[in-house]
Structures are given as structure tokens and as C-alpha cells.
Amino acid sequence: MSIGRTTANFKTLKYWGKRDKTLNLPTNSSISVTLAQEDLRTLTTAATSSSFEKDNLWLNGKEEGIKGDRTIACLKDLRLLRREMEAADASLPKFSEWPIHIVSENNFPTAAGLASSAAGFAALVVAIAKLYQLPQLMSELSKIARKGSGSACRSLFGGFVAWEMGDLTNGEDSKAVEVAPLSHWPSMKAAILVVSDDKKDTPSTTGMQSTVATSDLFEHRINTVVPKRFEEMKKAILSRDFAAFGEMTMKDSNSFHAVCLDSYPPIFYLNDTSKKIIKLVHALNEQEGKIIAAYTFDAGPNAVIYYDQEHENKVLGLIHKYFHQVSGWEKVSDQVAQFEDLSIPFDTEAYKGVSRIILTQIGSGPQETSESLVSEQGLPK
């Protein structure tokens, strides 16, 4: 039995567009920050036995079975690597031939634009790789996770992660690499304003296909804007330059939502609450005379606001002022007294569009844990 857990990642330079839909090969390189596990994590246990009847997967307590092509593709690749080991060492048990049971739990909403597929496929690949005792490095395994969900490849690392798009048609050079580990910039924090827990209307895969096929702005984004930003963002991370990192993060979020709007028919992920939050962050940065907070939005209306610990009392002070009514502040309850009370005018009803706040920070990526979700009989506990 093997247990692995990992977490979601939030994009600072977005992946949007595929050049190969089956292999999940992107039209541009991207960068993300992997967040801490306590708040947004997937816990996955994998077990194999010759006595199991068939491959099976339980997600959040429900038997789902192994039905999607993407999960099947990941399992196939992992089994192939195990088979190579077994061929080289006859003493190894033939795990590659036995059915596998996977039990997984997300501690945050699934399919709500909170990157559950990223954390989910990353945890699945890591848990099975551990079970099979595969020697492959994380970058190699990231190519397998990528076939599950593009964004999953970046969740195999902690800290700041790049997904290099590659240019081979077989995808062998399209993999995740570490830009910098958590220890490089541990004071990076994130406040996530959960604007909607609902399942989103346009899934990322269909949304991307539509943008690639119909948006005129898209070519400019992937050929001109992103390649330059990819290099500049890596530099900003390596030099811990929050202002540069923040400006590029916000601009890239806006560029991604612009190509969504430029798709035909248009795709809308931001709602009025998201737009109010964007304005609030700009108002804060303007008042400070520098960028101390940066928003980013994935394929949904939830806001992720990055800031450095050094400005926590200001950034959280402002968010708390207007969103103290929502749940999730317990974690910092002993800090509230030190929050700064900035006088930035804002819609005092905006909190009604937010269901909760998740206060989190940069994380260390996949971890092994002794917590198992599978019983001795190989079933969910």
C-alpha cells in the first residue's frame, strides 16, 4: 500500500490552449506557485493486490471507477515503467499485472476552478509511483501527470514551478521543472476569496479548445506576450522581486480572461464580485505607491491574492475590513488587532458574493504521509 498527498497550484502565468488534446501538450509555457497542504490538499492512497477484482477509484467517498481516458492513460504509463523494472529483476512482485485500488479525498470543492484536477492527478501519479517504487525523477513523472490534466504536472513540485511547453510531437520534452523551492521565498502568501463553490459552466478543456479555434487575440498572447513574460517572471521569482512578480501575475490573469472573452461565443469566468476584488487590489497598490498585492483568477470567479508576509497587516487588514463576515478568518484571529485600517472606499455589500476565505501560503509539494484511506482489505476506510 502506498500513500501520497499533494496540493493544488495556482497559476501566475497561465496555461490556456493545447496543441495536442490527447497528450495535453500546451501552446505556451506556464508558471505556478504550489500552495501549502493544510488548506488545499488531495490525499490519495493506492493499493495493489492479485486478489482485487478490477482497477477501481473512489473519490470523496464515492465509487467512481476508472472511467476517464485521462486516468487510464496515467495508469498505463505507470504500469509500463513498473513492467520495465520487473523485466530487469525477476524477484520483484508483478504489481504491473495486478488490479489497483485508488482512494482519494480533496479537502476543498472538486471541479470548482480551485484546481482539483491538478492536485488530484498529481497525487494519483505520486501515490502509484511510490507503490511501484519507480526510480523516475519528478520531472519524468510530471509528463505522466500532464496526461491526466495539464496543470497537474506542475503540482509534482513545491515552491515555484514552470511547465516547459516543449516542441516534440510525442510530448517527451513537455514537463515541469522547479524554478525555485519553497525555501527560496517562504514569505510568499496567498488569500483565496472563494467566490463560487459551484461546478463551473465551461470546463477548462472545452474552453481552451474554443479559444484556440476562435480567438484572434490568442496568437498574439502565445507568440509574443507569454514567451517574454515566461523569462521575466522566472527572473522576478529568482530575485524575489514582488512588484515585478505581482505586476506580471495580474497582467497575465487579465490577458487570459481577455482571450476567453475574445473566444466566440465568449467565455466568462469572472463575475461582478471578481471585478470588484480586482479594483480593490489596484486601489491598494495605488495608495501604497507600489505593488504589494497581486490577484490572479483561474477558470472561475475565485480570487487568489498573493502578497509577501512583510505586508500582511496591510493586505489582510483591507480584505478583513470588507470581508470579515465570511468564514475562514479563525486562523488569524489573534492577529486581527494588528491589522491596518486603510481608508480605501469599497462596496460594503461585496462580501455577499464571497462564501469563504482560505488563508494559505506557498507549499512544499507532494509529501508522503502515514495517513491511509484504504483498509487492510483494500477498500475505502
Ligand X SMILES: Nc1ncnc2c1ncn2[C@@H]1O[C@H](COP(=O)(O)OP(=O)(O)OP(=O)(O)O)[C@@H](O)[C@H]1O
Q: Which of the residues 243 through 272 are near ligand DP6 (CB under 6 A)?
A: none
Q: Which is nearer to ligand X, 123 or 222 (CB)?
A: 123
Q: What is the CA radius of gyration of the chain?
A: 21
Among 120, 301, 317, 328, interactor with ligand X by CB under 6 A: 120
12 touching ligand DP6, by CB under 6 A = no
Q: Which of the residues 262 through 301 are near ligand X (CB under 6 A)?
A: 298-299
- Residue 66, CB-side half-sphere exposure with 13 Å CA sphere: 20
Backbone angles phi, psi at 70, to 5 degrees: -70, -40
Among 107, 110, 136, 364, interactor with ligand X by CB under 6 A: 110
CB of residue 32 to ligand X, shortest distance in Å = 11
107 touching ligand X, by CB under 6 A = no
Contacts of 3 (CB under 8 A, 6+ apart): 43, 44, 45, 46, 127, 130, 368, 369, 370, 371, 372, 373
CB of residue 99 to ligand X, shortest distance in Å = 17
Q: Are 309 and 360 in contact (CB under 8 A)?
A: no
Contacts of 116 (CB under 8 A, 6+ apart): 8, 42, 106, 108, 109, 110
Q: Are 145 and 121 in contact (CB under 8 A)?
A: yes
124 binds, among ligand X, ligand DP6, none (CB under 5 to 8 A by kind): ligand X
360 binds, among ligand DP6, ligand X, none (CB under 5 to 8 A by kind): none
190 touching ligand X, by CB under 6 A = no
Q: Which of the residues 230 through 269 are near ligand X (CB under 6 A)?
A: none
* Burial group, residue 76, by CB count within 10 angstroms (0-12, 13-18, 19+): exposed
Applying CB under 6 A, the site for ligand X has a residue count of 22
202 touching ligand X, by CB under 6 A = no
Q: Which is nearer to ligand X, 118 or 326 (CB)?
A: 118
Q: Which is nearer to ligand DP6, 58 or 230 (CB)?
A: 230
Alpha-carbon distance of 105 to 308, in angstroms, equals: 30
Backbone angles phi, psi at 375, to 5 degrees: -80, 175
Per-residue mark of binding to ligand DP6, 290-309 (x: CB under 6 A): --------xx----------
Query: Three cell numbers at 82?
Result: 513498473
Q: Which of the residues 138 through 157 are near ligand DP6 (CB under 6 A)?
A: 149-151
Please report, as a single letter, which amino acid is at residue 155: S
CB of residue 11 to ligand DP6, shortest distance in Å = 4
145 touching ligand X, by CB under 6 A = no
Among 3, 6, 7, 11, interactor with ligand DP6 by CB under 6 A: 11
CA distances from 249 to 41, 306, 331, 360, 374 (A): 23, 9, 26, 18, 40
Q: Which is nearer to ligand X, 39 or 298 (CB)?
A: 298
- Residue 132, CB-side half-sphere exposure with 13 Å CA sphere: 29
Query: Which of 249, 248, 240 lies closest to 310, judged by CA?
Result: 240
Q: Which is nearer to ligand X, 40 or 319 (CB)?
A: 40
Q: Are 289 and 320 in contact (CB under 8 A)?
A: no
CB of residue 138 to ligand X, shortest distance in Å = 18
106 touching ligand X, by CB under 6 A = yes
SS3 305: strand
39 touching ligand X, by CB under 6 A = no
CB of residue 245 to ligand DP6, shortest distance in Å = 16
Q: Which residue is nearest to ligand X (CB)?
A: 120
Q: Which residue is nearest to ligand DP6 (CB)?
A: 150
204 touching ligand DP6, by CB under 6 A = yes
Alpha-carbon distance of 238 to 215, in angstroms, equals: 33
Alpha-carbon distance of 35 to 114, in angstroms, equals: 11
| Residues at the interface with ligand DP6 (CB under 6 A) | 11, 14-16, 24, 30, 117-118, 149-151, 204-205, 298-299
| Residues at the interface with ligand X (CB under 6 A) | 42, 59, 104, 106, 110-118, 120-121, 123-124, 151, 203-204, 298-299
